[in-house]
């Protein structure tokens, strides 16, 4: 936005103005979110251990493939990222232009939840078994 003698003003993607000392800019690193015109959307969706992983992955890939805002190249992926305490976590990675980033983010989450529900694939919540021992 503006480079002054001691500071640089930058418009952030969320509509804010960041004021950064020039020393930090010259001695640090910058991340440019719009230079390549594509951003990877990083989502994590957990499914229950009883759910069909392949079916869940196929549904999520189908949702991303049917969204015109999701870039075809690089291709979106879904992979098992973690075997967590209460869920099998899937890394859901569509690509979008900077302008479509949040639309892709929100649409993938919402349509993913609906499709997984319709397929009987549950998204678990953290739970603990507590065993009471009476003295």
Return d(Cα 2, Cα 11) in angstroms, integer: 9
Residues 6+ apart with CB under 8 A from 62: 115
- 39 vs 30, 35, 48, 132, CA distance in Å? 16, 10, 29, 49
Q: According to the model, what pLDDT value does residue 34 have?
A: 67
Structural domains present in the chain: 1-31 (no CATH), 39-118 (3.30.70.100)
Note whether 48 and 56 are within 8 A (CB).
no
76 vs 60: CA distance, rounded Å:
10
In tens digits, the chain (135 residues) has pLDDT values of 888 889 989 887 777 898 989 888 788 877 776 678 899 999 999 999 999 999 999 999 999 999 999 999 999 999 999 999 889 999 999 999 999 999 999 999 999 999 999 999 998 887 777 889 988
- Whole-number pLDDT of residue 46: 96
DSSP E strand boundaries for 22-119: 39-40, 43-47, 77-83, 88-93, 95-96
What whole-number distance in Å separates Cα of residue 23 and Cα of residue 20? Answer: 8
- What is the three-class DSSP state of 9? strand
pTM: 0.77
């Amino acid at each position: 936005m503006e480079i002054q003698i001691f500071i640089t003003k930058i418009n952030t993607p969320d509509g804010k103005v960041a004021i950064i000392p020039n020393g930090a800019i010259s001695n640090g690193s910058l991340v440019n979110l719009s230079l390549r015109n594509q951003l990877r959307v990083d989502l994590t969706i957990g499914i229950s251990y009883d759910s069909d992983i392949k079916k869940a992955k196929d549904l999520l890939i189908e949702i991303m493939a049917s969204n015109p805002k999701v870039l075809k190249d690089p291709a979106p992926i879904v992979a098992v990222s973690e075997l967590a305490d209460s869920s099998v976590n899937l890394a859901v990675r569509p690509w979008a232009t900077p302008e479509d980033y949040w639309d892709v983010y929100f649409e993938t989450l919402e349509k993913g939840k609906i499709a997984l529900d319709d397929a009987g694939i549950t998204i678990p919540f953290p739970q603990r078994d507590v065993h009471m021992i009476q003295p």
